[in-house]
Amino acid sequence: MAIDFAQMIRRSDVDYYLKSSTTANDCRLCNRQRGNDQIAFYSTIPGWSAITGAQQGPVSIIGYRINVSGTTLSNRLERLGEALVWNGATSDTRSDGRPASVIFWAPLNPWANLTTNPFDIIGRDVFRFEYYYLLKNGDLSSTPWYATSSVRGLQDVSAIIVDVAVIDSKSRVLLSNSDIAGLAEDLADYSGQAPGGSLAGWRATLDGNMTLPRPALSSVRLYERSFYLSSASLGSP
């Protein structure tokens, strides 16, 4: 995750898929996210692709979300890494017949019509995924701007702060998929707490749960990490 964020493309003419209090003209799919969060962005990281040859570019769509398939992969953190071509020409197609994506000005909807190939489970024990922003004015926020209602290459954001809840495999077998999904919903969304406040609220919720097996609940571990973004210059051509 640290490498993905460090290589994020931060330009005012590139779209993002982020949580925020409202949409923006340069983030048309930004919205409030209830429960487990999702995030996606363009990054200069190699990704999976069915395209071969010179048309394959150095940019990928990178995304993170909790799998909700209802299979054995459900309630686990997964990563999307799909390589793109630069020109987005309709003559450049993937193995599923869809055009390869162009990155400039295209609304980023990373989860639409994808096969399972670009996805990898990277956190088999992670069942809750939440993030928020450290803004350059020092505020913590669930919206990635403060100057104007526009992402503008995340130029108002200093860091993305990620919170996760983890349950080990031995304790996970004590709970059904619906138990885990319900527990994730009980762990509240970030709502302006001071640093560490979100995890403190999660811990209080776990300690107060009288329904699920205590051995499973006591094994849940909570973690928070800040990923500082590159200070590279921003802008459009």
pLDDT confidence tier of residue 134, bands split at 50, 70 and 90: very high
DSSP H/E element including 58:
strand 56-66
The arithmetic mean of pLDDT across residues 125-136, rounded, is 96
**How confident is the model at residue 83, as a pLDDT?**
81
Q: pLDDT tens across 156-180, in order?
A: 999 999 999 999 999 999 999 999 9
Mean pLDDT of the chain: 83
Say whether pLDDT at 93 is over 90: no
Q: How much is the pTM?
A: 0.84
Say whether pLDDT at 207 is over 50: yes
Q: Which of 103-117, 173-187, 197-211 has the lowest mean pLDDT?
A: 103-117
Domain boundaries, the chain: 128-228
pLDDT confidence tier of residue 227, bands split at 50, 70 and 90: very high
| Residue 129, Ramachandran bin (φ over 0: left; ψ between -120 and 50: alpha; else beta) | beta
**How confident is the model at residue 144, as a pLDDT?**
93
Chain centre distance of CA 224: 14
Which residues, in sequence order, are bridge partners of residue 9?
none
**How confident is the model at residue 57, as a pLDDT?**
74
Task: Report how far residue 54's alpha carbon sits from residue 135's, in angstroms, rounded to the nearest whole number.
Answer: 39
Please check whether residue 42 is in contact with residue 61, taking contact to mean a CB–CB distance below 8 angstroms.
Answer: yes
| Residue 88, Ramachandran bin (φ over 0: left; ψ between -120 and 50: alpha; else beta) | left
What is the chain's length? 237
Chain centre distance of CA 118: 15
pLDDT confidence tier of residue 149, bands split at 50, 70 and 90: confident
